Chains A and B, each alone.
Chain A
Amino acid sequence: MSGQRQGFRPPGTVFASSSTLPLAAASRPGVGHPPFSATGVFTSTAPQRHLNFRMPPLQTQTAEALATLQKLSNEYEPEIEGPLVGKRQSSQAITAEYQNADEIFVRKTAVLPQKYSHYRTVKGDGNCGWRAIAFSYFETLHRIGDKGRILEELTRLKSLNNLLNQAGFAEHLYEDFVQETLNLLSEIAYSLPTSSDDAGLLKAFNDPGISSAIITHFRLLTSAWMKTHVEAYQPFLLEDTVEQYCASQIEPYQVEIEHIGMNALIDALILPAGLAVEILYLDRSVGVEVNSHKFERMDASGAPLNPDAPTFRLLYRPGHYDILYKIEDVAALMSSPTNLQVAYATPVTYGTFQPVPVVPVSSDMSTYLEIPGMSTPFVPVTPSAMSPDTYTSPVSPALSTFSTTTLPLRPVGDIGGFRPSKYELEAEFHPSPMPNLPFQTPTFRNSHFNPAHFRNSDFQPEMWKPDTADSGRGHKDDSSRH
């Protein structure tokens, strides 16, 4: 489990028996990040190790003792460890984290790595939702790898200063925050196309000064956006005016983002950048998979305006956001963001549902992926070109089932001579070019061409064995020959 949540104990719980203490701590950062213990229930052990304070029986407490307790409670800061933004890692870790949790979590987290192979922790310090969106915004622009587009974003964000002015923020107070955002954007833009890893972004986001400034900039933007689009957000606020809500929930530095703030942040920052966000909700709701909701630009009828908009994903667990990746996003992040060469292979395994393109192969990386059974010459893969820390296998052996796919294939009769396969494609089948499709077929995942196996020393590729694959006929042939 991600280190930072392990240390969490809700500070309020030590006083659980007292209803008379209005615990300010309950609104403190960190409390919004309930601890998920391995059993999937909120851990409620008293935080004695933090609060070195032995509680006398309630009835004997004097006002002074209560005041002391209140003071301790007010000053309580949960111990949060770990980097502000962590390294990308296999989402098998999430499965492992929940292996002893209740059935719903086990089921949902078991299938999670099949679709979302990697994830990245974000520190739960009261800013995780903001930080997760901010980091992903930069990372996705970097992944797209289009310098012009990043410079456009830089101009757009600069011009949004007008919105900040309109909302009444003083320029000399916000300009330092905005500057950090612009600096990082231009750093990314000018690092292209040579930089292909996330080291620069990680470094910037783990610098508290830069990270905090960017988050503050985005908070102010969100606040200004809400104040200038009151009609869109007021209906969702029950008691507060938009002005009050921004003052108490958006602008203060350590207040965690709520759903409405998330909406406004996405409206102000992400959608106008031509990006989309998908949030996956891991909770106890009924279902086999995590629920997801995609935030994207839509027309009046609710149809997406740009269904192919580059999308990033967040994993939401009550009170906490982390960043989630699909395997193809990771592949794109791993390869250099220069022009991609896309080759298309004859779909051997996909058949009716999707044609299979060979994964984008960049000229400067020798990551070479191909489909088993193709006659393309095999280019050796240099494992050192991959980041070994991040590219662990997203496929759990237990999970990779050999599902049957419907294929437009028909068995070919014994035609003698060389035949690459006993199956042949229907003549009218043509693959349509579709770039960047995921490699999710069992055949690919279990083949030695999947680079995800590089770190798995126990990996055994599927092999064709003449004895077992076609044993019946083979033996008959053998016997008839003798």
Chain B
Amino acid sequence: MFANWPLLSLIIWLPIVAAVPTLLAGDKRPDSARWIALAATVLTFLLSLAILPNFDASSAAMQLQEKHLWISVLNVHYHLGVDGISVALVLLTTFTSVLVIVGAWGSIDEKVSQYMAAMLVLEGLMIGVFCAMDALVFYVFFEGMLIPMFILIGVWGGARRVYATLKFFIYTFFGSIFMLVGLIYLYFKAGSFDLATLAQVGLNAKEQMWLFFAFLIAFAVKVPMWPVHTWLPDAHVEAPTGGSVVLAAIMLKIGGYGFIRFSLPITPDASFEYAWVVIAMSLVAVVYVGYVALVQEDMKKLIAYSSIAHMGFVTLGIFISLALVRSQNNELAARLGMQGAMVQMISHGFISGAMFSCVGVLYDRLHTRMIRDYGGVVNVMPKFATMFVLFAMANCGLPGTSGFVGEFWVILAAFQTNPWIAALAAFTLIIGAAYTLWLVKRVIFGEVGNDKVAKLEDMNGRETFVLASFAAAVLLFGLWPKPLSDLMDAPIAHLVQQILVSKGA
């Protein structure tokens, strides 16, 4: 079934189109807006699951392709397709979106229809990013995404929301516009925006260098990597819970995805030459930002910095693998590192989404994110405390949770390049455990902090559902990562082959 359906177009456009009736429901009928949004996201999730039976995971080829001429004069095609990596990220997106809509059910009560509509548009655009096979189509989705996110943070955010959302928008736009110039240059060389064609176009060292840095700015801002990470803590702190979840769980992944779709295949030689830059930046992120997280007093800010540190593993894994395959021709280790980076992306999606949802649960009750305003939550909210501790453990990278798998693989791969890099990276496990467990200690354990905490009520069914869903995913991929790695193995092997070939011209 579904074999002949344009599945990818459906999952992109269904949420976007559903935003129209959601908006029309208006603020006077918030419940209909919520139900329409929920129905749309659930349907999108089910349709995205229908990709799996129609998908051959053993092949690295782009599958379920749809190709229609968009702009004939420029030879631009509305070209969609997915490989294992995309499928994993699409599923992460559709899964998280359902939970975000459910999570917003009680916590958003102003301008509900606009909130739901913005979320739906955002979901469609994010899926589009992961499915696009044409660089211009990719760029349109990549940038278009900023508009709903800008509105989400700006309208439903906290006290400094305007500053945060402007910073978010301008930072991201700043990054991507140079990529646009780079893509135009590539078009000039290749006569097409088709990603497969761009990957084959011959480029000399200088051209590759410029293009590499253009891509690096775009994706480093998105990931975000140190030192262009400063927008993220602000955006996370001010965003509504749903916005934070989407931002951490999905949007950051687009940066990592960009590296493997653009930087590595299009500029392999420059990527190798400047891999040390990215590796150094990643290590700084992992170590220094980890320390920064340690001193935070705001829960959301702490998790935001922890996100930056964890995303450092992703970029580290990607570029370590590149170095491995290029300098030592160690394909097996490279595949392991790349796998680790990808698994880390998915796993961090679940964990960070869950952590932000947890903060959301607390924030909805006491309207504060400050750590000092809590304490001893376990005494009044045992169910919630269980969940929180589970996700905290996953965030530390405890074996048995998905957080362990990716980091472990990346460290294994790093060890084969340079034990010192591995040692530094492994060091983060300690810092990670330090800031996360300290957070748990101060918020969850101990005596009941104050009267307000004493009156807290445990999670309701809706909140339990959201957190339990995340928990199931975290445990599933922690105990049994094989389906995930099988899904992504073929495209990664292909990518590793691809970056072996120098394209100097």
Q: Are A and B co-members of a single complex?
A: no
Residues of B within 8 A of A (CB): none
Residues of A within 8 A of B (CB): none
